[in-house]
Structure 1
Amino acid sequence: MTASKKSQRKLALLSRSAAAILAIYGSGFTQAQAQSNDASAKASDDTQIAKVVVSARRREETLQDVPVSVTAYSAEQISKSGIADITGLALTLPNTTLSASRGTNSTLTSFIRGVGQQDPLAGFESGVGIYLDDIYLARPQGAVADIYDVERVEVLRGPQGTLYGRNTIGGAVKYVTRKMGPNTDMRLKASVGSYGQMDGVFTASTPISDTVRVGGTLAKFKRNGFGKDFTTGEDNYNKDISAARLSAEFMPNSSLFIRISADTSQDDSNAKHGHRLTVGKISGAPILSNVYDTRANLNTALGHKQQVTQSGVSALVEYQIQPDLMFKSVTASRHDKSFAPIDFDSLSTVDFDVPALYKNKQFSQEFQLTYTGKSVQGVAGVYYIDANAYDKFDVRLLGTSTFTEGDIDTKAWAAFADASFDLSKDFSLSVGGRYTVDKREASILRQIYLGTAGSPAMGNPSAVFFRTDTNLSKADLHREDKKFTPRISASWKASADQNVYASWTEGFKGGGFDPRMNLVGSKLSLDKAKQGFLPEKISTFELGLKSAFANNSVLTNVAVFHSDYQDVQIPGSVAIDTNGDGKDDSFAGVTTNAGKAKIDGIEIEATARVTDAFSLSGMLSYIDARYTKYIGAGNIDVASQRVFQNTPKQTASLRANYDWSMPVMGNAGKLSLSSSVAFRGKTYQFETPTPILDQDSYKLWDASLVWTRSDNAVRIGLHGKNLSDTRYKVAGYLFPTLGEGSTTAFYGNPRTYTLTLDYRF
């Protein structure tokens, strides 16, 4: 029996088992409730789980009613769990990977259900959309932001297109900030912790009239490094981030709401360098004992130390035309800039150093109409984005400096609509569609200079020019991709507490151009370069069951899905021989459309309020993602030798929480003790298995002790993360044939402790 058939049988068995368990429990609870209505009536409201409201379908619905795979985290949950940034959410999310990208502190690598994007270079868009109050963030730079000033975070799994401004093929992460209240509100959160952690967030808002409210947030996050750079003497894996947000809200009348917002952040953390996993090929440099230590010598790019700045302004207008009809306009402009010194070899010599600059800007406009009638609900809209992604960098390697510059424009517009029809009180049908037009233009320049001091464009005006390998303008590189993607779903209220749904959705991500392409040495023809890489497409069928048991004290959500994934975009870098001497002396970007893949999976989430003091929550997911066609070198199908990166087959988590009353200094309050364990199966870093870099399965143990005053004005918490001090890889570089050999890994955080104080004035 083949591995694929074994996986299919395992998935089918797991699905049937889950369905059988739920059917047994559902039947048991239903019979018990039918036999003893009096007992149900006497159940304490204290054991009921509070309803969670989400806007996954662009209108407010409870989490258990919405027929979509979505997980939501309230600001209260995030605070009590001590989650600092978005990557901390991934441990409790089914089939989801969120981590800081290799060589960076704040660029996000995100994968949901096997779909994502690892490379943050210009020309690539993530398969997972990041949204800040309905504003799509086109680039991943700065997306690993500390969570502050939010009402909730929603994570949607599967293709998103008929409900969202920008088409995202794998899923979406939404930050939803809270609207200001009618009274003056001031909040302070302070944190101190291990490795010299000192954080502070101050938020204030106030009405200045009956129709105008203003507010803002100032935040600072600092921490020493987990390791040292023995060459520069600087901390490695440290943190130094400043952020601010200002908002003004206008309510001229009861039908009109306007919000003007501006935000900015600056990451001044040191460059984050990897840990060498092999002895230096030339120097014989040994492997360091601490995985957070490095010998990297590069700490500047264009004379700047590592820095990521981003800012944006936006305008939201909501106009209630009629009680059941709302018009919404979302206008936004964003910019970011990154100075990124990347030392691939992590040694004190200039062996494989890449100082880089990334710049991105975008303008987007979305118009929506939302209808919430008694039996018909839906949304329709149009979306436009005009974005530019620019990068330039030197590759300082083997006595030369190879300069690369990529400038890529994206202009895209789309029309989308999704409507739900209540055909009876228990059955509803939703249909939707989206038409997308993506236009891309690119210019790419690649030049070689003698010596490792760098190119003129990267700060060395005396560089000696050798030759030009690639010089293509936007007149040469342009493409337009068009696609209609439909969606249909049905929802059946099997009982008052059970909601069954089925959906079929298509997703689409436009093609583009790899800004690192090289026409010399990589066997890339001019015609192939001008074509670029093709769009990728996915179609997903999903069957789900959302249930409540025991007077709403037990909630379960189960989803089984199957996806057909075509023309998968695989960006990567390969070592190349540019002078024909049989020795690799540079590298180039090679982005291919792998072919075809099939993805099957199951996701189970459950929450139980066992007593008014004790609660449990957990997650279990399994995914079988496999390539069925992968055309490699020589036009050979190597699908059997390829794997999905950043997609562990199994993930699971379990969290327990116990509350009890505890007055402190005469103030009534509640003490909460919680502990959680998260499991992640073996994770591949690339499409080709790489034992030295791939991460075996591991577990992470967290715990928190939190006291909250009865009026929620004071909260004090002690949070321990990764208490078992597990070392686990989250990213890496693999260029074993270049120079000293660049095989380096980046790791998740070690054991940390944080003491937090939340004070509401």
Structure 2
Amino acid sequence: MFPILSIRSHARSRYRLLATCAVTATLAFAISQAANAQAVSQGEQDRPSENPTSVGTGAADSGEIFVTARRRTETVQDVPIAISVVGGEHIDNTGSFNVGRLQQLTPTLQYYSTNPRNTAVNIRGVGVPFGLTNDGIEQGVGIYVDDVYFARVASATFDFLDVERIEVLRGPQGTLYGKNTTAGAINIATRQPTFDFEGRAEISVGNLGFRQAKAAVSGPLSETVAARIALSSTGRRGTLWNTTSQRWINEQDNLGLRAQVLWQPNDNLSVTLAGDYSQQDPECCGTVFVRTGRTQRALNRQYEALANAQGYAPPSTDAFDRLTDLDASLNAGNKVGGASLKAAWETGIGTLTSVSAWRFWDWKPENDRDFTGLAITTLSQNPSQQDQYTQELRLSGGEGALGYTLGAFFFQQSVDTQGSQQQGPAASAWLINPSNPLNSDPSVLDGLTATNTIGLDNTSAALYGQVSWQPFAGLTLRPGVRLNYDSKDGDYASVVTNGAGQLVTYQSTDPRIVAQRAVLAPQAFTVDYKDWNFSYDLTASYEVSGEVLAYATYAHTFKSGGVNLNGVPSDGDGRPILEAATVAPETVNHYEIGMKARFWDRRATLNLSAFRTDISNYQALVTNGSLGVLRGYLANAGQVRTQGLEADLSIRPSLRFNAYVNAAWTDATYRSFTDAPCPPELSGGASLQDGQVPDAPGTPAGISPANCDISGARLPGVSKLALAYGAEGNLPITLLGEVGAVYLGVDGSYRSRFSSNPTPSAYTWVDGYALTNLRLGFRGGKGFEIFGWVRNLFDTQYFEQLQVPSGNTGLIVGTPGDPRTYGLTLKHLF
């Protein structure tokens, strides 16, 4: 019925694939010639494939899995932290090429994204508020790549590039990491330059026009200098058909490059200069009609009546027909990159590490904010340019009974955003009350435009440290402290003009201006925030035996306060309420106990943890429901608690079979939030007056409370039960003269239902779902591998997220998850 590929996406994908394959072939030829010139030994020529690891515990058939979660090299089982480890080979084999896919392997991780900017990464249900991003606050989950902090979570939407392993640390990590991380950290370690020639090349093709190519080459430039370069390119046709543009949208279009140079003049000093650049250019990010639900607006102001009045109907009322008719331009242009210089010096008192880095992010979005095919909002975009500079110094050392890590961290970020929103000819009939004669005049709102300028200067500095002390054999105490300073200076200005070029002001009493002001309101303010915070933690661990480690942790920490940069509420005269312009810091008390054990002659690994986190002054997203007035601002929401149990089990009885199960039960709820925004079914009616009681949810023209008490309700985006599981078995065979093994692997995940709105609504619960991925292939002993794969094997229909468009019309839209995909991958290590 529809073309397989639009001309635009097909041409671009073909060009990018040909270019990437050419570079891959060039790299492969170069490394082959270099290896021959250096007379590489037969043992190096027969370099085997990577040793497969288990998801979660990181267990391997041979050797220990080392991590740097505590800023020193140690085995996973020696780290008294709840940590999930995913090896690079498992990332490749399961198609988990970004953080969004990673959540299918690590059940305590939650990832939600309506576009790269509006992306949230949470651990155990907390980290950042669910909903539209506000640049004026911090993220509670720190993302680090080779020790460099990534301030903007948009980086999580890019492909992993030449990754060796990923460590997901659960719980506060502020006394070990440069930026305070109250919910956890994602520590990504890439493959480093080597003084032995090596390389890798990988190409994948699949349905939906999927094309992915990866390549990396590493080797010496001299006796003391080595270099590594890696690239990745991913393209795929979109999964939604736009009947308006006659194109597939929500495509994948990623390109990444990383280069590193290592100088190692002696065994005590190493200096690594690294640079990376990634870009995305998809036509994204669209939604589909899911359902409608009654609100407390008058019936003639709810979705069905408004749509009928303009003769409008969505292209399908079945979301999994994957049809949309969005008529505004869509774009998610996204560029991320930077450079870093890391030096590690082995001194007589420990390892001194310096990490200096600069990063940038350029964001060029275009959205359809009315989520329909009507010309209500014809333009919505908030291009943003962000730069950050970080400097971290660490000294880690000590032997025997006493060890330590001391650090200093400096962070500076600047944000410059230029936003605009414009209403179209269908806006008057949709947004103005039908009882108002202006409702029938398209010119009232047509051309109404808000032009926003937003700026932020964000500076943070910290001193932190942790001491490891063994009072007697087996027992280790690890107290840690952190002193943190934050300064944020922001400004927000929104200038509104109508289609005739007139300024829309609060002083005007012209009925047309009043109607326009109710849709897009002018506002301007400046705000600054400064604060000192002190936090601390204590971990006690005990080696019950050589294979069993028990630990307990208490942490008192905080998440920095912030400023609102999406606008704030105004009083009756249009003056911004500046009390709402700043957000107080969250105060966090965290308790955790855990156990790490290996048994069955180290064939089995079991890690258990139980936790409870109490948060005061939780930073929550608040919306007022009126289209265009506020995109959402932040407020402190009383108290939140998240608690749960986690288990990671892997078994490897032989070289021929391995299996894993990772499970998380999470109970994350608002403990006290008495003035929360109401859900759509309780919004849009007449204001509650003294002596009145609200009408039942979904009563047209009913009485709505000004706010709602949602104490005890579940936090958005959190499934009570989440699982990840998998197994792989292999048999030795000889294929085309090469000795290797044929293998069959399966990986699955399950999530129980979760709320997809900051305030739980009957209309926005996402049903639980299970996903199953399958792979069958051959892994050769000389580094060659070929396998076929199927993801979402049973073509499960599920939603990644549901959204409530502003306006309280009762419309619910959503983002369907990927359908079944399948393909073939060829990989070669040499």
Q: TM-score, normalised by structure 2?
A: 0.79
Give yes or no for the alignment of 1:729 onto 2:772: no
Q: Is residue 762 of structure 2 the alignment partner of residue 691 of structure 1? A: yes
Which residue matches 2:612? 562
Aligned to 1:19: none
> What's the offset of the Cα at 1:688?
1.5
Q: Post-superposition shift, 1:451?
A: 3.6
Please name the residue that 1:631 is paired with.
674
Given that 1:345 and 1:744 are in contact with CA atoms closer than 8 Å, whether structure 2 keeps it comes out as no
The 3 A distance-change label for structure 1 pair 585 and 173 is: closer
2: distance between equivalents of 1:454 and 1:707? 69
The runs of 5 or more residues in structure 1 that have no matched partner are 1-45, 457-463, 577-583
The superposition leaves residues 214-241 of structure 1 with CA deviations (integer Å, 9 ceiling, x where unpaired) of 2211221111111211112222121111
**Which residue does 2:598 correspond to in 1?**
548
Counterpart amino acid of 1:450? N
Compared with structure 1, are the counterparts of its residues 296 and 47 closer, same or farther at alpha carbon in structure 2 (3 Å cutoff)? closer
Structure 1 counterpart of 2:524, one-letter code: N
Matches within 5 A, 1:686-725: 686-711=757-782, 713-725=783-795
Amino acid in structure 1 at the alignment position of 2:769: Y
Q: Give, as a single letter, the amino acid of the residue that structure 1 aligns with 2:525.
A: L
Residue aligning to 1:416? 464
1:183 offset after TM fit, Å? 2.0
Question: How far, CA to CA, are the matches of 2:708 and 2:554 in structure 1?
Answer: 29
Call closer, same or farther: CA 1:706–1:451 in 2, change over 3 Å.
farther
- Give the match for residue 439 of structure 2: none
CA distance change for structure 1 residues 47 and 567 in 2, over 3 Å: closer, same or farther?
closer
- Matches of 1:190 and 1:147 in 2, distance apart? 15
Structure 1 328/205 Cα, relative in aligned 2: closer, same or farther at 3 Å? same
2:548 counterpart (491, 495, 498) = 498
1:106 Cα deviation after fit: 7.6
Say what the alpha-carbon RMSD is for the aligned residues. Answer: 2.6
The one-letter code of the counterpart of 1:388 is S
The answer on whether the counterparts of 2:622 and 2:632 sit within 8 Å (CA) in structure 1 is yes
TM-score when scaled to structure 1?
0.86
Where do 5+ consecutive residues of structure 2 fail to align? Answer: 1-58, 293-302, 428-444, 505-512, 677-704
User: What is the alpha-carbon distance in structure 2 between the residues aligned to residue 613 and residue 454 of structure 1?
Assistant: 75
Separation of aligned partners in 1, 2:394 and 2:500: 53
* Greater share of residues in strand: 1
The residue that corresponds to 1:431 in the other structure is 479
For 2:575 and 2:473, the matched residues in 1 are separated by 60
What are the superposed Cα offsets for residues 349-374 of structure 1, whole Å, 9 maximum, x if unpaired? 32134222122110000000011412
1:237 aligns with 2:250: yes
Match of 2:818 in 1: 749
Q: Which residue of 2 aligns with 1:184?
A: 197
Map of 2:41 onto structure 1: none
Q: Distance in 1 between matches of 2:572 and 2:557?
A: 31
Which residue number in structure 2 is paired with residue 326 of structure 1?
351
Q: 1:522 to 1:184 in 2, by over 3 A?
A: farther
Q: Give the secondary-structure state (helix, strand or coil) at the position aligned to 2:153.
A: coil
- Spell out the pairing of 1:3-22 with structure 2 (5 A cutoff): none
- The match for 1:471 among 504, 519, 524 is 524
What is the rounded CA distance, in whole Å, between the counterparts of 2:550 and 2:569 in structure 1? Answer: 53
Letter in 2 for 1:116: G
Residue equivalent to 1:658: 729
Which position in structure 1 is the counterpart of 2:6?
Answer: none
Is 1:515 paired with 2:565? Answer: yes
Amino acid at match of 2:746: S
How much has 1:251 moved relative to structure 2? 0.9
CA contact (8 A) 1:643 1:687 kept: no
Alignment of 1:42-441 (within 5 A): 50-99=63-112, 101-102=113-114, 104=115, 108-117=119-128, 118=130, 119-278=132-291, 281=304, 282-283=306-307, 284-286=312-314, 287-291=316-320, 292-299=322-329, 305-322=331-348, 325-352=350-377, 353-397=379-423, 398=427, 399=445, 400-441=448-489
Indicate if the aligned counterparts of 1:328 and 1:368 stay in contact, CA closer than 8 A.
Answer: yes
SS in 1 for 2:91: helix
Q: What is the letter of the counterpart of residue 238 of structure 1?
A: E
Q: Deviations over 1:587-610 (max 9, x none)?
A: 342311000122211001100123
Give me the whole-angstrom Cα distance separating, in 2, the residues matched to 1:361 and 1:207.
33
SS in 1 for 2:765: coil
Structure 2 matches for 1:605-616, cutoff 5 A? 605-616=648-659
Amino acid at match of 1:491: S
Q: Distance in 1 between matches of 2:805 and 2:246?
A: 26
CA deviations over 1:581-632 (Å, ceiling 9, x no partner): xxx6633423110001222110011001234312221012111112221131
Deviations 1:131-156 (A, max 9, x none): 11111111112322212211111100
Residue 521 and residue 200 in structure 1: after superposition, are their counterparts in 2 closer, same or farther (change >3 A)? farther
Tell me the CA shift for residue 669 of structure 1.
0.6
Deviation at 1:424, TM superposition (A): 2.2
What does 1:573-588 align with in structure 2 at a 5 Å threshold?
A: 573-576=623-626, 586-588=629-631
- TM-fit CA distance, 1:56: 0.9
1:120–1:141 CA contact under 8 A, matched in 2: no
Question: Any idea what the Cα deviations from partners look like across 1:737-761, whole Å, max 9, x if unmatched?
Answer: 36x7653211222111131111124
Residue identity matched to 1:610? P
Residue 528 to residue 335, structure 1, CA distance change in 2 (3 Å): same
| Percent identity (aligned) | 24
How far apart in 2 are the matches of 1:219 and 1:492?
Answer: 43
Q: Which amino acid aligns with 2:318?
A: S
CA distance in 2, matches of 1:723, 1:531: 48
Task: Report the Cα distance in structure 2 between the residues aligned to 1:534 and 1:144, rounded to whole angstroms.
Answer: 29
Q: 1:47 deviation in Å? A: 9.5
Q: Which amino acid aligns with 1:308?
A: N
- Secondary structure of the residue aligned to 1:298 is coil
Q: 1:240 to 1:181 in 2, by over 3 A?
A: same
Closer, same or farther in 2 for the Cα pair 1:747/1:550, shift >3 Å? same
SS of equivalent to 1:141: helix
> Structure 2 residue aligned with 1:617, among 637, 660, 664?
660
Report if aligned partners of 1:49, 1:553 keep a CA contact under 8 Å in 2. Answer: no
**Structure 1 residues 105 and 663: alpha-carbon distance in aligned structure 2, compared to 1, 3 A threshold:** farther
Counterpart code for 1:289: D
Letter in 2 for 1:731: Q
Q: Say which SS state the counterpart of residue 591 (structure 1) adopts.
A: strand
Q: 1:116 aligns to what SS in structure 2?
A: coil
1:520 and 1:450, CA in 2 relative to 1: closer, same or farther beyond 3 A? farther
1:109 Cα deviation after fit: 1.9
- For 2:501 and 2:317, how far apart are their aligned partners in 1? 27
Q: Deviations over 1:636-674 (max 9, x none)?
A: 771336420111111112212111112111100112211
Q: Name the aligned partner's letter for residue 655 of structure 2.
A: D
Q: Secondary structure at the match of 1:77?
A: helix
Give the Cα separation in 2 of the matches to 1:693 and 1:535.
Answer: 29
| Structure 2 match to 1:675 | 746
Deviation at 1:531, TM superposition (A): 5.0
Q: In 2, Cα distance between the equivalents of 1:664 and 1:454?
A: 75
**Range with greater deviation from structure 2 (684-693 or 164-173):** 684-693
Give the distance between the partners of 1:453 and 1:79, measured in 2 at CA: 54
Aligned residues of 1:47 and 1:553 also touching (Cα < 8 A): no
Structure 2 letter corresponding to 1:383: F
Alignment check: 8 A CA contact 1:607 1:616 kept: yes
Asked whether the 8 Å contact 2:291–2:317 carries over to 1, the reply is no
Q: Contact between 1:342 and 1:356, CA under 8 Å: does it hold in 2?
A: no
Q: Secondary structure at the match of 1:587?
A: coil
Residue 96 (structure 1) shift:
1.7
Aligned to 1:143, what secondary structure does the other structure show?
Answer: helix
Is the alpha carbon distance of 1:88 and 1:455 closer, same or farther for their aligned partners in structure 2, counting shifts above 3 Å? Answer: farther
